[in-house]
Amino acid sequence: MKRRVGGLETEYGLVCVRADGTRALEPEAAARELFRPVVALGRSSNVFLGNAARLYLDVGSHPEIATAECDDWWDLVAQDRAGERILADLVSTANARLAEQGEDARIHLLKNNVDSAGNAFGSHENFLVDRRGEFTRLPGALLPFLVTRQIMTGAGGVVREADGGARFVFSRRSDHMWESVSSATTRTRPIINTRDEPHGDATRYRRLHVIVGDSTMSETSTWLRFATTDLVLRLIESGQVLPELKLADDIAAIRAVARDLRGSQPVELESGAAMSSLEIQQRYLDLVAPLADESEQIVLETWQRSLDAVRTGDRSWARTRLDWAIKEALFEEVGARRGIGLDSPQIERLDLAYHDIDPERGLFSRLQQAGRAPRVLEDARIEAARTTAPTTTRAHLRGQVVTEAIAHGVDHVVDWTTMRLVRPGAMPVTVLDPFATQSDEVDALLAQIRAAGTARPDPV
């Protein structure tokens, strides 16, 4: 597919502590505090927003935002960043209320993937794929890419090895992957989840659900996850099934690749041969290059630069752009300054601070201010994405309905494909085409909303 929609679901870690660092509220109670304004507005902790994203509380009291469907990967990054800001506002409101009540309690939301006990939570990428493309063959051709792309898009971090030693890895999430492909998400967490909910015309589309990704703070890293995977999907859709890249053991490979910071260790292939993670990535990049149009040359260039940073060990470009490299440089610098090793709890605290979405106290936004992390999108574009849906997909329709319904105080029910008003006899409007940006039915629904709002009887 030349034009594809995608979306990103991010689960956030939640902790509420006293000034001394001890836990002030259990996650359930902290989540309740956080979602108070959401429940007040929508009478539910599961709502769609004016920017067409879904905000809800997931299993385990993880606040989650699923972005609207986007067909431009910078739009997607803007929506993802806007989601951070929406949640950061909720945190700030909740913390102000707790302080007012005289409570020694402060909520932190962490856009990361693992807590200190090793519980994992996710950052799930969704890509619309053509149903005709024989979905059964797609994962096989995509897996070697997903296993190795962490050398470019991993969030970086420190893992403890069985011998007690600590080491820096491209992705900590790699240790939480247990299967290549399955329909489960928690029990035996797979790289690709096959749950078939297309949120669109099921005869034409499937939704590819990639759950191997780290939550990325860097706009460049988030953009690369989507822009490069999109190109690889196009390659596979063009008929390439890439049997020569199939790995002997995806899960053994993903853990080995995470630890191989030079990208040079041989990874065993199904054929009995071996390739390094760098060689596998380079092969995908070379294969997709002819499929990239003018506007996508920048994807190829950035992808190549990311691989070169691993190949040469020269981090001068990567250490202010890619999450893992920003973190690697930071951990080294802070470690040397404080005389501590990677196994120090202070490094784990530093890692959490990096993923703290607080716009003032969070480390990532401070790194951006200091020029040590990328700021690609204009602030105004991120601000706009808080209230405005992407205009080139179906999200445009949903966004208008939600925005108007809230503005006119009209009760409504919305999901990814369907919108309706809560009133006797109201008919649902369903839009199955994810690329639709105009609909007479939706226009009629908008007219009803405006009429209902203005026709409200005056209070007696």
**Any known ligand binding at 205?**
no
Q: For other proteins, give the closer residue by CB, 283 or 375.
A: 375
Question: For the chain, what's the residue count?
Answer: 460
Quick one: CA torsion of 409, 413, 414, 420, rounded to 10 degrees? -90
Among 283, 208, 299, which residue's Cα sits nearest to residue 247?
Answer: 283
Q: For other proteins, give the closer residue by CB, 241 or 376.
A: 376
Q: For other proteins, give the closer residue by CB, 220 or 439.
A: 220
Quote the CA–CA distance of 52 and 366 in Å, as a whole number: 29
Q: Residue 230 CB, nearest distance to other proteins (Å)?
A: 13
- Strand order across the 418-421 sheet: 412-414, 418-421, 429-430
**Any known ligand binding at 64?**
yes
**Any known ligand binding at 12?**
no
**Any known ligand binding at 416?**
yes
**20 an active-site residue?**
no
Q: For other proteins, give the closer residue by CB, 205 or 223.
A: 223
Q: For other proteins, give the closer residue by CB, 386 or 408.
A: 386
Quote the CA–CA distance of 405 and 418 in Å, as a whole number: 14
Q: Residue 200 CB, nearest distance to other proteins (Å)?
A: 22
**Any known ligand binding at 320?**
no
Q: For other proteins, give the closer residue by CB, 117 or 460.
A: 117
User: Residues with Cβ < 8 Å from 228, sequence gap 6 or more?
Assistant: 149, 152, 153, 288, 299, 303
Q: Which two tokens stand for residue 175?
A: 């240790």
**Any known ligand binding at 268?**
no
User: Residues with Cβ < 8 Å from 74, sequence gap 6 or more?
Assistant: 223, 376, 377
Give contact residues for other proteins (rule: CB under 8 A).
11, 13-15, 17, 20-23, 27, 58-62, 64, 74, 110, 115-117, 119-122, 124, 185-186, 189, 211, 219-220, 223, 295, 298, 301-302, 305, 317, 321, 333-334, 337-338, 345-346, 348-350, 352-353, 363, 366-367, 369-372, 374-378, 381
Among 168, 66, 161, which residue's Cα sits nearest to residue 123?
Answer: 66
Quote the CA–CA distance of 24 and 17 in Å, as a whole number: 5
Look at strands 179-182 and 190-193 and give their pairing.
parallel
The DSSP letter of residue 168 is E
Q: For other proteins, give the closer residue by CB, 295 or 454.
A: 295
Q: Residue 60 CB, nearest distance to other proteins (Å)?
A: 3
Cβ-in-10-Å burial (0-12, 13-18, 19+) of 113 comes to buried
Q: Residue 387 CB, nearest distance to other proteins (Å)?
A: 18
Quick one: CA torsion of 92, 96, 101, 102, rounded to 10 degrees? 100
Q: Which helix (H) or strand (E) holds 407?
A: helix 395-407
Among 20, 58, 71, 293, the active-site one is 58
Q: At what angle do helices 219-237 and 73-100 cross, to 10 degrees?
A: 140
Q: Tell me if 320 sits within 8 A of 241, measured CB to CB.
A: no
Strands (E), 103-255: 106-110, 123-130, 157-160, 166-169, 179-182, 190-193, 205-210
What are the binding residues for Mg(2+)?
9, 56, 64
Q: Which residues are identified as catalytic?
A: 58
